Copies of this chain bind each other. A is one copy, B any other.
Amino acid sequence: MVNEKYYGYGTAPSVIRDLFAYGLEAAKKVGKENVYDYSLGNPSIPAPAKVNEKIKEYADGDSIALHGYSVAAGHEDVRQKLADNLNERFDVNAKASELFMTCGCAPALISTAKGIAADENSEFIVIAPYFPEYNIFFGAAGKVKVVPPDTEHFQINMPELAKAVNEKTVAVVINTPNNPSGVVYTRETLQKIGDFLKKKGEEFGHPIYILADEPYRELVYGGIEVPFIPTIYDNTIVCYSWSKSLSLPGERIGYVYVPEKCADGKKVYAAVAGAARELGQVCPPTLIQKVVGDCVGCMPDLEAYDVNRTLLYNSLIEYGYEVAKPDGAFYMFVKAPNGDANAYSEKAKLEHNLLVVPGDGFGCPGYFRLSYCVSKKTIEDSLPAFKAMIESYK
Residue of B63, B133, B248, B274 touching A47 (CB-CB under 8 A) = B63
Task: Give the distance to chain B from A50, nearest Cβ to Cβ, in Å.
Answer: 11
CA distance A252 to B287 in the complex (A): 10
Task: Tell me whether A56 and B60 are in contact in the complex, defined as CB-CB below 8 angstroms, given that A116-B3, A280-B106, A280-B109 are known contacts.
Answer: yes
Q: Which residues of B contact A62 (CB under 8 A)?
A: 46
Q: CB distance A206 to B1 under 8 Å?
A: yes
CA distance A193 to B58 in the complex (A): 45
Q: Which residues of B contact A136 (CB under 8 A)?
A: 277-278
Q: Which residues of B contact A114 (CB under 8 A)?
A: 3, 6
Q: CB distance A9 to B278 under 8 Å?
A: yes
Scoring A residues 191 to 210 as 1 if CB is less than 8 Å from chain B, else 0, what string do you get? Answer: 00000000000000011000
Beta-carbon nearest neighbor of A206 in chain B = B1
This chain: copies in complex: 2
Residue of B60, B251, B283 touching A285 (CB-CB under 8 A) = B251
Scoring A residues 251 to 269 as 1 if CB is less than 8 Å from chain B, else 0, what string do you get? Answer: 1100000000001100111
CA distance A46 to B2 in the complex (A): 40
Scoring A residues 355 to 382 as 1 if CB is less than 8 Å from chain B, else 0, what string do you get? Answer: 0000000000000000000000000000
Q: CB distance B63 to A110 under 8 Å?
A: no
Q: CB distance A6 to B249 under 8 Å?
A: no
Scoring A residues 1 to 22 as 1 if CB is less than 8 Å from chain B, else 0, what string do you get? Answer: 1111111111110000000000
Q: CB distance B280 to A279 under 8 Å?
A: yes
